[in-house]
């Protein structure tokens, strides 16, 4: 019988509510209001280095498809990784050294025991690479490992060593059914007969073999859907908790994947819409490290079976994570062996941001979420921003 995972309750991350541990960040010199909304944008070069010196006329902002005027643009460096970034005039030394707030979230349920070393290694690379003035937090879910953002990075490194791989193998089957094939069998798609023919060719005396293969595939698909739902529930809790921290935050999610199919359950579209809304409301920059442990597992001695759809499985486990990152205007990195280049890029990208003060129309001041599109006129630059903004109702 499959082990029941520990329920991930808000009390398990109560330490993160101690927001006083997070150093204050320098706010922009202009404030959000019912007439203005603030949009954060990261404009970076090919290697993730922030682009400096852009003016308001180089940006265009569209809210629900309508172009809106930009009142002001301010470049905000954190001085977390790149001392060459120039702070705006009037910035005090204390303000410019406030550093970033970065939270590591590790989905323990997504990693098998054999893959926990890759989760620890990626997290350790981040913990060793952040600047001394950065506030680093840690949540390993499900479970009780939770440390509020702190400059005591040694404590974070110690906690990372306790991260575990909690994913149990899906139900046993005497047939060789991969994760993506299980989804196909459950949906009875066009490849169902190909799979049953392959598995039953050596079991010709068993007339029930095709139906047994389909039933096993359905049970495996159900188990994968339960795993995905637990990971999504944990991620929702992480977003709500990190969103309660003050100022701008960077959330780095380390996961071995979400087994989500475009036409399966949980529904990727509804879940990604929620992620986008929570990331926007919480002022969170989302980075997703998809640790591809599936390739190594497929060729390990203990696996003992040939995976007929290995690359389909890799895509399936990464699909939901990539959708989450994209919906929140974040970055998705598929890590095969070495996380160093991706860690370095994430820290470079988050070392500075542009804050755009955008004029909104009176009819948009409804307290609801609105879709935004942002462009920048800068050759060769990559632009990252959240796709949703909430515009408050004017005070009476």
Residue 4 has a pLDDT of 33
**Which residues lie closer than 8 Å to 58 by C-beta, 6 or more apart?**
376, 377, 378
- Alpha helix segments (H runs only) across the chain: 93-96, 116-129, 153-160, 179-187, 192-200, 209-243, 268-281, 293-298, 310-327, 340-349
Contact between 268 and 323 (Cβ < 8 Å): yes
| DSSP secondary structure string for all residues of 321-347 | HHHHHHHTT-EEEEESS--HHHHHHHH
Taking Cα atoms as reference points, which of 221, 244, 382 lies closest to residue 316? 221
Rounded to whole angstroms, the Cα distance separating 161 from 166 reads 14
3-state secondary structure (DSSP) of residue 390: strand
Series of mean pLDDT values for 10-residue runs along the chain (396 residues): 35 44 50 76 93 96 95 84 43 52 95 90 96 95 92 97 84 83 87 92 86 93 87 90 90 91 65 76 90 66 60 86 83 90 93 93 89 93 87 82
3-state secondary structure (DSSP) of residue 50: strand
Dihedral sign for Cα atoms in the order 201, 206, 208, 212: negative
Rounded to whole angstroms, the Cα distance separating 229 from 223 reads 10
pTM: 0.81
Phi, psi dihedral angles at 164 (to 5 degrees): -125, 160
**All domains of the chain in start order, with CATH:** 1-27+101-350 (3.40.50.410), 31-99+352-396 (no CATH)
Longest CA–CA span in the chain (Å) reads: 83
Contact between 63 and 358 (Cβ < 8 Å): yes
Residue 323 has a pLDDT of 84
Contact between 255 and 112 (Cβ < 8 Å): no
**Does residue 64 come out as left (phi exceeding 0), alpha (psi in the -120 to 50 range) or beta?**
left
Residue 171 has a pLDDT of 66
Residue 336 has a pLDDT of 85
Taking Cα atoms as reference points, which of 40, 27, 74, 33 lies closest to residue 387? 40
Dihedral sign for Cα atoms in the order 62, 68, 69, 70: negative
Helices 209-243 and 192-200, axial angle in degrees (round to 10): 120
Q: How many C-beta atoms lie closer than 10 Å to residue 219's C-beta?
A: 18
Strand 369-376 relative to strand 36-44: parallel, antiparallel, unpaired?
A: unpaired
**Which residues lie closer than 8 Å to 192 by C-beta, 6 or more apart?**
184, 185, 214
Query: What's the alpha-carbon Rg for the chain, to the nearest Å?
Result: 23
Rounded to whole angstroms, the Cα distance separating 309 from 182 reads 11
Helices 179-187 and 209-243, axial angle in degrees (round to 10): 110
Taking Cα atoms as reference points, which of 43, 140, 137 lies closest to residue 99? 137
Take residue 52 and report the two structure tokens written for it.
């400096």
| DSSP secondary structure string for all residues of 269-319 | HHHHHHHHHHHHHTTEEEEEEEE-HHHHHHTSTTT-S--TTHHHHHHHHHH
318-322 contacts at long range (C-beta below 8 A, 24 or more positions apart): 318/257, 318/290, 318/292, 319/258, 319/260, 319/261, 319/262, 319/268, 320/228, 320/257, 320/258, 320/259, 320/260, 320/268, 320/271, 320/272, 321/253, 321/255, 321/257, 321/258, 321/288, 321/290, 322/288, 322/290
Cα-Cα end-to-end distance for the chain: 58
């Amino acid at each position: 019988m499959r082990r029941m995972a520990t329920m991930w309750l808000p009390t398990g991350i109560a330490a993160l509510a101690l927001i006083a541990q997070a150093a204050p960040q320098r706010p922009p010199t202009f404030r959000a209001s019912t007439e203005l909304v603030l949009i954060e944008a990261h404009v970076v070069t090919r290697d993730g280095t922030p682009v400096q010196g852009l003016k308001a006329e180089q940006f265009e902002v569209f809210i629900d498809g309508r172009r809106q005027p930009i009142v002001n643009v301010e470049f905000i460096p954190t001085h977390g990784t790149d001392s060459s970034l120039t702070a705006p005039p009037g910035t005090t030394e204390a303000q410019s050294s406030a550093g970033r707030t970065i939270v590591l979230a590790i989905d323990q349920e997504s990693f098998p025991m054999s893959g926990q070393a890759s989760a620890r290694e990626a997290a350790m690379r981040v913990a060793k690479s952040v600047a001394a003035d950065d506030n680093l937090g840690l949540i390993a879910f499900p479970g009780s490992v939770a440390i509020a953002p702190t400059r005591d990075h040694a404590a974070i490194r110690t906690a990372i060593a306790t991260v575990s791989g909690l994913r149990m193998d899906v139900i046993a089957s005497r047939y060789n059914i991969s994760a993506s094939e299980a989804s196909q069998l459950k949906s009875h798609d066009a490849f169902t007969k190909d799979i049953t023919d392959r598995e039953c060719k050596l079991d010709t005396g068993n007339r029930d073999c095709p139906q047994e293969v389909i039933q096993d595939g359905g049970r495996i698909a159900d188990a994968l859907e339960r795993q995905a739902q637990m990971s999504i529930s944990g991620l929702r809790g992480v977003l709500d908790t990190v969103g309660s921290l003050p100022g701008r935050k960077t959330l780095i999610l380390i996961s071995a994947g979400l087994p989500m199919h475009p036409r399966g359950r949980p529904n990727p579209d509804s879940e990604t819409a929620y992620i986008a809304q929570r990331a926007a409301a919480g002022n969170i920059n989302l980075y997703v490290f998809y640790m591809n442990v599936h390739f190594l597992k497929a060729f390990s001695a203990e696996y003992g079976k040939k995976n007929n759809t290995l690359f389909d499985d890799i895509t399936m486990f990464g699909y939901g994570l990539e959708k989450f990152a994209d919906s929140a205007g974040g970055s998705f990195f598929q890590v095969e062996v070495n996380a160093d280049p991706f860690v370095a890029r994430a820290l470079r990208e988050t070392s500075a941001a542009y804050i755009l003060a955008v004029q909104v129309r009176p009819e948009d001041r409804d307290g609801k979420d609105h879709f935004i599109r942002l462009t920048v006129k800068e050759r060769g630059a990559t632009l990252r921003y959240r796709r949703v903004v909430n515009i408050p109702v004017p005070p009476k």
